[in-house]
Amino acid sequence: MSKQHRVVIIGGGFGGLSAARVLKSAPVEVTLIDRRNYHLFQPLLYQIATGSLSPGDIASPLRGVLSRQQNTRVLMGEVENIDPVQKHVLLADGATFEYDSLIVAAGSRSFYYGHENWREWAPSLKNVDEAVNIRHKILYAFEVAERLADPAQRREWLTFIIIGGGATGVELAGAIAEISRQTLKHDFRSIHPEDAQIILIDGGERVLSAFPEDLSKKASNALARLGVQVKLGLMVQDIDKEGLTIQSQQGTYRMPAKTVIWAGGVTASQFGNTLAVRTNAETDRSGRIKVTPQLTIPGYPDIYVIGDLASAVDAKGKPLPGLAQVAMQGGAYAAKAITRKAGGKPQPPPFKYFDKGTLAVIGRWSAVADAFGVHLSGYPAWLVWAFIHLMYIVEFQSRILVFIQWAIQDLTFNRSARLITGSAATDFNFNKEVSAVATNPAENAKIALKA
Amino acid sequence: MSKQHRVVIIGGGFGGLSAARVLKSAPVEVTLIDRRNYHLFQPLLYQIATGSLSPGDIASPLRGVLSRQQNTRVLMGEVENIDPVQKHVLLADGATFEYDSLIVAAGSRSFYYGHENWREWAPSLKNVDEAVNIRHKILYAFEVAERLADPAQRREWLTFIIIGGGATGVELAGAIAEISRQTLKHDFRSIHPEDAQIILIDGGERVLSAFPEDLSKKASNALARLGVQVKLGLMVQDIDKEGLTIQSQQGTYRMPAKTVIWAGGVTASQFGNTLAVRTNAETDRSGRIKVTPQLTIPGYPDIYVIGDLASAVDAKGKPLPGLAQVAMQGGAYAAKAITRKAGGKPQPPPFKYFDKGTLAVIGRWSAVADAFGVHLSGYPAWLVWAFIHLMYIVEFQSRILVFIQWAIQDLTFNRSARLITGSAATDFNFNKEVSAVATNPAENAKIALKA
């Protein structure tokens, strides 16, 4: 018996995990490497950031998911480099792994257009720690506002700006609006949470630009009904602790806000960049690697690139979007191609993406959906969204709990996971920053304490 | 109509929240101040640390719990000082609050007997962030061990030491044993998680010293069956990154371990210390404030001290333990006394603790219980434990989800919340610390990368 074909998969997201699962009964030896020990159901990450769900609800330990798959081992580690000729990958901790076939599903990361210093004041929503951090910022802002006496200061703390009008931005804006209008309605005594300003800004002409125009319009209207101000055609010039500097056709001006969230651009992961350099691969303007119709890097038929890191095109030459569906189908395709290779069979026909449609949720019982030419919005779209997401979550780890949690929340508007944990960059020191604190009026002098 | 009686409650734990709720319809103005925005169901904190539950499952936002209580406001802030004569408390951020009656339910914190540097290597389990940190340490240790080739190094990473044989220590040890023996059974390819050593050490003669002797014995046996080594009569002399230095009758020796958890002593919270100094109150050797039979500080009939911070005695002069039950009954008593005071009525008779018994859980379907002179152990005790805890959780926020989650876990041994998030002090750098890494054997040389 010959030596087994060694498959290394980098990344345990939708693409990598899908590939690993399809390789379950293949005569290969699989090593899945991820920086984290869990698979994350990324489309619901905004619900962690807005206190609807806990991390454990949408993340599944990779070892658990793959524990019964005897040909697969999971390793926690960060892949840093590759030798595509000797066929090795190198981990940050110095370990090396040889491969016969490599599947790179290393995903994307948020991109601040060269302004890395913005990250501190406008966190993005790519992983669990960031989501918990954003949750902290949002909820903490209400706590600070409750303690402030000065209306102008209150207003700054009750202004929430989301940058980027894609699905994540729309979902976040809708959820924050619901928090302020519904969840926290009865919770404060000095402020009215419903006075909070939620502003969604985008540089383009409409939100959800990946959707058909009529659905963008409907999403905008739904957001407005929730209380979100949608501002288009604005460019961010700077972000600091006190808010944004905005550039528009009307000139440059300031937008004060203590809470800013980045739902803007993405770019290739760090390892994606390295891979492109090592293989002389072409990249698109988002840093994604242009792959062959077989999803491999030109000149390296053993290296598959799938998911957010891959720049693939559909039959009409249109680039495929960075969606879970694309990643999963790409992972399954790569796995099948490798199985054939390991069995000495000819390669399969080129990858063909089967588009089941796209969805974005706006709020409770409100979403937009575009599938097979049918445009849905409002409640019907939300039902489709809820159904599809639940199906996947249940598939990943019998997470019926999420469903129950949603049901309770939808009836009560309660968000039980609205905990302020960890620490965030905007944590506030009243002592230093506030002139007057709204407590017992006229009693703000410090107590002269007796020794 | 005269000005309303102002009640300030410090702390939103069992004692403070219970007091606030009892004051619901009293003709008083309540301000509840807590450092965190949530009430925590502390008895289940060990289940966060061991990946069974997510923080959102056992924590409820204080504002949510009290939102419909019109006479009550909740503030997030840290009380730092008090003027018991002028009747003010002072927050760390400079705000002051006047009170007519004060309820101090500021709890306890972990105590390292003067060795604060031990905290870094032996975290304790008092809040959500610490619990997530401990979870990180435990799960990460298995990940590192899986990557190591050297058996001695592996052994150090697979050794878990819990210091302190009280209820928390017993519960943690039992849960870690179950993780290694059951949950992770099929998850690794290089190590056998069931080889992990779980060591529970205590300076005394038996575990659960607050329980009757026969139940201590039963708990020890149950722990042994789960694979926990119980080592008694040992004193910790030092804790560092590599493990413990132990002092025993046999002399001084080292106990190497990469994961050490502190379930040892507690002392009064920081504000508790300050309060004792400001009021010249007597404290016991754990720093708890000795209170009158009315739960007030001698000489300050307007300051009630309840819960873990109070040193109260029962009818026989025996000190009351630091249990949720004691705190809740104390909170209710203080609230009733204040209601009478605000209504101009005479004070109630002295506080009397109604002991419903004590419980400690050891593992799945295993616990010990001592109630009304009846000693239970094993499955019957576990049923009592599960029933009581669920009742309280459901009371606090219709948390039927916890029940469902437990049911699933008890049938499958799965722990869905075993996520490694945040960062912990023991995070590992293979590069620096390990000579040989167990990957592709004989392939540990770094890749000579082409420019």
Which of these, B99, B143, B50, lies nearest to B301 by C-alpha position?
B99
Tell me the residue length of chain B: 451
Question: Catalytic one among B171, B205, B242, B395?
Answer: B171
Across A65-74, average pLDDT: 92
Which of these, A16, A233, A430, A90, lies nearest to B75 by C-alpha position?
A430
Which of these, A41, A124, A108, A65, lies nearest to A266 by C-alpha position?
A108
Model confidence at B233: pLDDT above 60: yes
A36, A64, A414: residue with CB nearest B420: A36
Q: What per-residue confidence (pLDDT) applies to A340?
A: 96
Decide if B146 and A75 are in contact by the 8 Å CB cutoff. Answer: yes
B54, B422, B446: residue with CB nearest A94: B446
The structure tokens listed for B60 are 């409820």
- More confident of the two residues B289 and A444: B289
Among A388-397, A438-447, B246-255, the range scoring the smallest mean pLDDT is A438-447
CA distance A307 to chain B (A): 23
Mutate one of A8, A39, A48, A96 to test the B interface: name it (highest B CB count within 10 A).
A96
Decide if A96 and B64 are in contact by the 8 Å CB cutoff. Answer: no
Rounded to a whole number, what is the largest CA-CA distance in chain B? 87
Number of Cβ atoms within 10 Å of the Cβ of B445: 9
Across B312-327, average pLDDT: 90
How many percent of chain B have pLDDT more than 90? Answer: 69
Nearest chain A residue to B430 by CA distance is A93
Helices and strands in chain B, H and E counts: 14, 25
Among A208-222, A372-386, B62-76, B408-422, the range scoring the smallest mean pLDDT is B408-422
The structure tokens listed for B429 are 């750098």
pLDDT band at B389; cut points 50, 70, 90: confident
How many percent of chain B have pLDDT more than 70? Answer: 87
Q: Does A146 touch chain B (CB under 8 A)?
A: yes
Model confidence at B166: pLDDT above 90: yes
Catalytic residue list contains A282: no
Across B385-399, average pLDDT: 70
Task: Give the integer Cα–Cα distance in Å for A254 and B422.
Answer: 34
Taking a contact as any Cβ pair under 8 Å apart, which residues of chain B between 292 and 311 contact chain A?
A: none
Decide if A55 and B421 are in contact by the 8 Å CB cutoff. Answer: yes
Mutate one of A41, A52, A188, A418 to test the B interface: name it (highest B CB count within 10 A).
A418
Spatial neighbors of B272 by CB under 8 A, at least 6 apart, are B104, B106, B107, B108, B287, B288, B289, B309
Spatial neighbors of A338 by CB under 8 A, at least 6 apart, are A5, A7, A23, A26, A28, A101, A103, A304
Instruction: Compute the half-sphere exposure of residue B302: CA atoms within 13 Å on the CB side of its CA.
Output: 18
Model confidence at B443: pLDDT above 80: no
Which range scores top for mean pLDDT: B27-31, B45-49, B399-403?
B27-31
Q: What per-residue confidence (pLDDT) applies to A410?
A: 59
Q: What per-residue confidence (pLDDT) applies to A404?
A: 60
Task: Give the integer Cα–Cα distance in Å for A178 and A227.
Answer: 9
CA distance A137 to chain B (A): 13
Q: What per-residue confidence (pLDDT) applies to A387?
A: 83
Amino acid sitting at position B112: Y
A55, A64, A417: residue with CB nearest B414: A64
Q: Does B90 touch chain A (CB under 8 A)?
A: yes
Decide if B90 and A444 are in contact by the 8 Å CB cutoff. Answer: no
Tell me what the pLDDT averaged over chain B comes to. 88
Model confidence at A374: pLDDT above 60: yes
DSSP B44: G
Tell me what the pLDDT averaged over chain A comes to. 88
Exposed, middle or buried: residue B53 (CB in 10 Å: 0-12, 13-18, 19+)?
buried
Decide if A83 and B447 are in contact by the 8 Å CB cutoff. Answer: yes
Model confidence at A49: pLDDT above 80: yes
Q: Does B429 touch chain A (CB under 8 A)?
A: yes
Decide if B446 and A36 are in contact by the 8 Å CB cutoff. Answer: no
Helix (H/G/I), strand (E/B), else coil: A433: helix
Tens digit of pLDDT for each residue in A135-187? 999 999 999 999 998 999 999 999 999 999 999 999 999 999 999 998 898 89
Q: Does B149 touch chain A (CB under 8 A)?
A: no
- More confident of the two residues B437 and A79: A79
Across B380-401, average pLDDT: 73
Q: What per-residue confidence (pLDDT) applies to B401?
A: 57
Model confidence at A253: pLDDT above 70: yes
Q: Which residues pair with A75 in a beta bridge?
A: A33
Task: Give the integer Cα–Cα distance in Å for B446 and A94.
Answer: 7
Chain A residues with beta carbon closer than 8 angstroms to that of B56: 53-54, 57, 416-417, 419
Q: What per-residue confidence (pLDDT) applies to A34?
A: 96
Q: What per-residue confidence (pLDDT) applies to A373?
A: 86
Q: Helix A14-22 to helix A324-342 angle, to the nearest 10 degrees? A: 30
Model confidence at B437: pLDDT above 50: no
Tens digit of pLDDT for each residue in B234-250? 999 999 999 999 998 88
Model confidence at B404: pLDDT above 80: no
Among A211-225, A397-411, B142-156, the range scoring the smallest mean pLDDT is A397-411
Model confidence at A418: pLDDT above 90: no
Across A269-275, average pLDDT: 95
Q: What per-residue confidence (pLDDT) applies to B343?
A: 92
Question: Catalytic one among A29, A130, A156, A171?
Answer: A171
C-alpha distances in Å from residue B46, one per residue of B37, B168, B172, B174: 20, 7, 6, 10
Taking a contact as any Cβ pair under 8 Å apart, which residues of chain B between 55 and 74 contact chain A?
A: 55-57, 59-61, 63-64, 67-68, 73-74
Task: Give the integer Cα–Cα distance in Å for A13 and A20.
Answer: 11
A77, A129, A450: residue with CB nearest B422: A129
Decide if A93 and B36 are in contact by the 8 Å CB cutoff. Answer: no
User: What ipTM was predicted for this assembly?
Assistant: 0.81
Q: What per-residue confidence (pLDDT) applies to A395?
A: 64
Exposed, middle or buried: residue A290 (CB in 10 Å: 0-12, 13-18, 19+)?
middle
Decide if B55 and A439 are in contact by the 8 Å CB cutoff. Answer: no
pLDDT band at B364; cut points 50, 70, 90: confident
A:B CB pairs within 8 Å: 218
Model confidence at B441: pLDDT above 50: no
CA distance A331 to chain B (A): 22
Decide if A449 and B278 are in contact by the 8 Å CB cutoff. Answer: yes
Q: Do A450 and B83 contact (CB within 8 A), yes or no?
A: yes
Decide if A93 and B429 are in contact by the 8 Å CB cutoff. Answer: yes
